[in-house]
Every structure is written in C-alpha cells, then in structure tokens.
Chains A and B, each alone.
Chain A
C-alpha cells in the first residue's frame, strides 16, 4: 500500500470512488441488480457489435489514402466534440458538487496533488467511456481488417485526455470571465452547444451543398478532398494512428499526455480555488422580480404555473431544450429549402420533429411527475391525486406545444397535411412519453434527474422505442402511406407492454 496523501494513494481513492459510482449507476444503487446489469450489458454489447458490423464493416480494409484520411479525421473531430461536451459536464459537476470538498481542504493533504488527481480522474473517466462506446466499432474493424485497428483504442484514449484538458481550461476561463454563479448555467449550455454544433454544422453543410441530412456527405466531397493537405501532413496523424501507423500513434499519445499534463500543472491550484468558490454559490442570493400580488387560480392552475416556473428556472432544462432546438435547426433549414423549391423533403422533417418532441417530453414528464421536491405538501393538499397528476400532464403537454408549435406552423406553409400529421405526431409522442413516466413514477428530487435513466431502464427503452415508433408512423402518414399503421401499432404495443410490466403503486 502506498503512503497516505501521495499522488498514488489519492489516485487509488479516486479510482475506488469512480468504480463505486459507476457500479451504482449501472445497478441504480441496488447491489442485487449486478447480475441483471451484467447480462443487460452483454446483450447490449452484442447488439452494438452487430450494429457496428453493418455500419463500419465495409470500411475495414480501408487504405491510407487522402479520401479515407479526410473522412476519418472528420469522424474523429465529430467524436471529439462530443467528448469535450461530456468532459465539460464532468468538470462542471466536479466544481459544483460539494461532497468531500470540506474534508479535502481541511486536511493537511496538498490541494495541488488532490486536484491534479481529480482532473486526472475526469480525463480517465472520459477516456474510458469513449473507449467503451467505440469498442464495438474498433473490435469489428480489427476482426475484419486486422489487429492494426486496435491502435484506435489509443487514439480514443488520447482524445479523452485532450478533451478533459480543454474542458478544464474552458471552465476555468468561464469562472474567471463570468464568475461561479453564472458559470454553472453557461458551462452547461456551452457543453450542449459544443456537443451539437459540429454535428449540426456538418448537417447544414450537407443540406446546403447536397440536399441531404447525412453529415458524411461533405466529408466525402471531391471539393474538400482536393483542397485538403497532402497525406504526409501532420493534420492526419490522429487518423493515421487509427489506421495502425505506430509512429503516428506514439506522437498522438505523447502529445495528448503533454497537453493533459500542462492542463494539470496550470489549473490544479485554480481548480481548487474555483471549486471552493462554486461551493459557496448555493448560498448566494437570487432575487426574483417582485410579483404584483397573489393571483386567483384554481388548484390545477397553481400546479401548472408552479411546474412552468420551475421548468423555466431549471438550468439543465434550458441547456437541454436549447440542444433539442439546435438539433431541429437542420430539418428546419431543409424545410425552408424544400418550401422554396419542392415539398419532397418533408418526409425527413416530420419524424425528426416527432422524435425530438417524444424525447423532450420524457425529460419534462420526469421532472414534473417524479421530480416533485415537496411531495408531502402536494399529497396533504385538499385536491385529489388524480387532479394533481392531470395538472402535471397538462404542464408537460403545454410546454411541448409551446416549443414545437412554431415549427409545426412553419411546416403548415409548406404542406398543411404534413403539418397536421406532424402536430398530431408531436402530441401523441409527448403523451406516450408522459404515460411511460407516469407508469414508472418514483418519488425523487429534481436534482436526481441525471440518474433517472438508471432508475428504470425499461422506462428509458420504452420511451425511446415509443418515440421512434411514432416518428416512423408520422413520416409514413405524411407521405400518405397506410404502412404508417405498422410503426403506430408497434408504439401502441410498447405502451401496452409498459402498462403490463409497470410496478403497481
């Protein structure tokens, strides 16, 4: 065992905490679920390998030519933007979760060492998650194309390390620029925008240039390949490393470690100072505008108003809604272009909107129905439980209508029928997601939202399949096909299944 308060000792402590945190996330805090979680992980991994086989299998024999390097680098940048987004969220969480901060700062251990290890832990967890997510693709490529593809694991780990370094630098910069109070919200929004921006940017480029939503279309264009640097350029080192170039891999790994080391050396002390400042944020005063006075509202009205007020004041929700809206930009652009030219592309717009509505409604429904911070107050109020639930459902559907109505209205200019189908799809997808959350409702704090998907994986999958079903049905219905009944029936089957297996309250 290493001596206390050394880097190794602190790292092993952080590692143990990370492991238990991950285990708790997988088993939703119930240890007896470990076996079920393992089986589910194996099934999921098998499914992902099959999916990866169909997606990347044909590219396993790729040569190191310029076209391949361009596409590969584009894919790496896409993935890195998501990693950076994930790392920023982890760093923000590390800043704002008080947990053991008082203990650490009150101890004689060197804060520089402690926070160096903490930044390292963030880098490690980001890299590990990235390697796990990439593993089906890398394994399939290695199986078909040879062991050279295994070098991709090293590149993914390096990307995780660099993402963590940039995330720390960005968040510390935000702290210095706008202070701890505003950084929390802004960092979440920046993380969401970074995660979405590159994907969306490529999609917008694809729509403008090729009339397609595929983000790979611009990467495969002759125009870009012709203007890209030569194959020997250092720009392609990460891509070359993925393709099995050992020299490039060593350089990429060394550079990423150097960047992470620099970030740790430069920011570990500041990290501690800012974490202390962030811990004091909860005691800062947020003053609201003085209201005119109490307004006359029915109990249902006050419940709806309360839900909407809390939703508007929820920074997480603001960032998530912004991200949903950002993801809707490409289909909106496509809609605008097709309105100008022809109505052929509407079949792509409708399912994207319906799917987004279902997903957003799932989150809102959890916050409203399960994430009630004063359950005793509501339960002891002279109002029936049924009326309470209805008011919350109305709040969710009202919010969805507010977000999606402008898009459906815009769609109506291009095709009133498609707009009608889309509007109906949005409502049904939102109602279905809300129904699933109702069936699996648990009593929780709003702050536990991040863990909602681990508390019931059945609900999470049901929510996703139901949204996909209604999105498919809407797309086919907008195209005038009777086949729309098929995905609609599948979605209804999911909802029926949910009713059957949902725990009785």
Chain B
C-alpha cells in the first residue's frame, strides 16, 4: 500500500494570508514515489501552497517537511532534493539549453561529469538535443518549458513540484513532458502537480487533492473521489463531474 512508503512531503497547519486567507491550516501528506495532483478553482490556494513548499514564500504559520527535513528550519537542505517548475518557463534567453543545464547543475553542486551525462539524456528524451547549443531566445513556449523541465530534473530531485506545467504546450510537447514525469515516478521520484487539465490528473495521478478557499476539501484516488462525490450527488461520473460536484459550493475567487 502507498501509505507504507516514506513520506516525501508533509505540511501541517500551513497558513498564508494576504487580504484574505490564501491557505488555511492545510495538512498535506504525499508519499515517496507518488504522483499527486492538486486541483481547485482559480484562487483556491494551489500556487500559494506549492510556492511555500518550494521555499519561494514564507508561510505565516505551520510547517513543511520534505523527506523528513524541516524546510523552514533548513531550507538549503530541503532545496537540495527539490525541484520547482512553474507554468511560465523561467530560463535565460541568451544561454543555450546546454549552458542552462550546466548552470543549474552548478547551483545544485552536482558532479560535473554526472550532470553532463544526465543533461544529455534529458535533452535527448525531451527532443532538445538538436537545439542544445542554440540560444533559447528563439524557442517556442513548448521548447522553453522543456528546457525548464530539464533544468528541474538535471539534479535528480526526490520531490518535483510543478505548477501548471502543461499550460500552452502542444500535444506533442505535453506528451513528452508527461512521459518524462511518469519515468521519474517509476524511478522512485515524487511529483506534486497542479493542473487545470483534469484529464491529465485523471490519467497520471495516483491520488488527487481538491483544494478550495485554502483548505483541502477532498483527497484520494479517483475512485475514492467519485465515491465521495457520489455520496453527495448520488451519481458517479468523470473527474470533471466529480470535481465540479466537490467544489460546487466553492466558486472561483480572485486569481491567486
């Protein structure tokens, strides 16, 4: 059973407030080797949660533990085993993918020979090898996202945090990204991902968490969520039906 695996990520009573509570006493437990999808309407607190886990935002209260490391007390150690990828690929236009990956590997203190081997593998898998020595400035959104994903994976992180990584990608690029992520999970990595593409969550996630108003309102496998929604509505259906039933009383609020 998945629950017997070590805990890759645990948040307890996690809180963040702007004008209103963005994340409200959130408890999340994600196990090693698990693909976890976090769903919710706009403004539900998904991105804020992930940014706090990645160390980009300081929570107002609560704790974050990554692979047993207290990420608030020892952020450097936690970051060493974590990767973050947002929907807007943040890369350097005037570096080539090869130079970008060398930069990332250096930041994570990865042995140069190992990092180069890993970088070449990733560039190959993601179809970027022919463009490895071209500057990123002329790349399409999909290519840029793939470069950013390669950067997130080149240091072999235990926990991969992805915020809408498939936004704006064409079908081919999205397939490549999904395949690489599946491969990582098969190899024992843990993925937590937000997405608005419910079909992706349905196909890829081991478990799905549904968040609204900063709180986890439902969590489980797709069947478990269907069951929960079915109890309320007396019918079962696709993840879209299930999701809309679960968040039906939690309408979209202002953008995160």
Contacts and interface: CB of A to CB of B under 8 A. Distances in A.
B115 A381 contact: no
Contact of A294 (B82, B94, B96, B113): B113
A297 interface: yes
Interface stretch (B26-34, B84-92, B174-182, B206-214): B84-92
Interface stretch (B103-111, B194-202, B215-223, B243-251): B103-111
A294 B54 contact: no
Interface stretch (B17-25, B133-141, B165-173): B133-141
B83 interface: yes
A282 interface: yes
Interface stretch (A14-22, A255-263, A371-379): A371-379
A373 B92 contact: yes
Contact of A382 (B56, B76, B98, B148): B76
Contacts of B133: 287-291
Nearest to B56: A379
Contact of B99 (A285, A288, A378): A288
B116 interface: yes
B116 A293 contact: yes
Contact of B94 (A296, A301, A313, A378): A313
B107 A381 contact: yes
**Which of B54, B83, B105, B106: most chain A CB closer than 10 A?**
B106
A344 to B, nearest CB: 45
A309 B103 CA distance: 11
A443 B112 CA distance: 30
A481 B134 CA distance: 55
Nearest to A376: B90
Interface in B216-240: none
A61 interface: no
How many A residues touch the partner, as a band?
35 or more
Given A302-B107, A380-B55, A310 B92 contact: yes
Contacts of B119: 294
Nearest to A373: B92
A377 B100 CA distance: 11
B94 A297 contact: no
B96 A288 contact: yes
B13 interface: no
Contact of A299 (B55, B98, B106): B106
Given A310-B95, A373-B91, A373-B93, A285 B138 contact: yes
Contacts of B106: 294, 297-299, 301-302, 305
A30 B54 CA distance: 31
B115 A380 contact: no
A356 B79 CA distance: 40
B90 A373 contact: yes
A287 B138 CA distance: 10
A384 B76 contact: yes
A380 B84 contact: yes
A309 B92 CA distance: 11
Contact of B90 (A289, A298, A301, A377): A377
Nearest to A303: B107
A303 B108 CA distance: 11
A297 B96 CA distance: 18
Interface size on B, as a range, is: 35 or more
Chain A, interface SS category: loop
A297 B109 CA distance: 8
A381 B108 contact: yes
Contacts of A383: 76, 107
B151 A296 contact: no
B76 to A, nearest CB: 5
A310 B98 contact: no
A288 B76 CA distance: 33
A294 B105 contact: yes
Nearest to B85: A376
Interface string B121-138: 000000000000111011
Contacts of B56: 376, 379-380
Nearest to A286: B135
Contacts of B83: 380
B70 interface: no
Interface in A406-432: none
Interface in B55-99: 55-56, 76-77, 79-80, 82-84, 86, 90-96, 98-99
B169 to A, nearest CB: 18
A340 interface: no
A81 B26 CA distance: 63
B159 to A, nearest CB: 11
Contact of B91 (A301, A305, A374): A374
A369 to B, nearest CB: 15
Nearest to B54: A380
Given A295-B112, A299-B109, A378-B107, A286 B102 contact: no
A377 B107 CA distance: 9
A301 B102 CA distance: 12
Interface string A294-338: 111111011101100110011000000000000000000000000
A204 to B, nearest CB: 35
A286 B104 CA distance: 21
A448 interface: no
Nearest to B163: A376
A375 B86 CA distance: 11
Nearest to A287: B134
A449 B150 CA distance: 28
Nearest to B116: A294
Given A376-B84, A381-B108, A310 B134 contact: no
6 contacts: A288-B135, A302-B103, A374-B91, A377-B107, A377-B148, A378-B107
Given A294-B113, A297-B106, A377-B90, 20 more contacts: A285-B138, A286-B134, A286-B137, A286-B138, A287-B134, A291-B98, A294-B112, A294-B119, A298-B106, A299-B106, A305-B103, A305-B106, A376-B56, A377-B104, A377-B148, A380-B55, A380-B79, A381-B79, A381-B107, A382-B79
The 9 closest A-B pairs by CB, nearest first: A302-B106, A374-B90, A381-B107, A382-B80, A313-B94, A382-B79, A294-B116, A294-B112, A286-B135
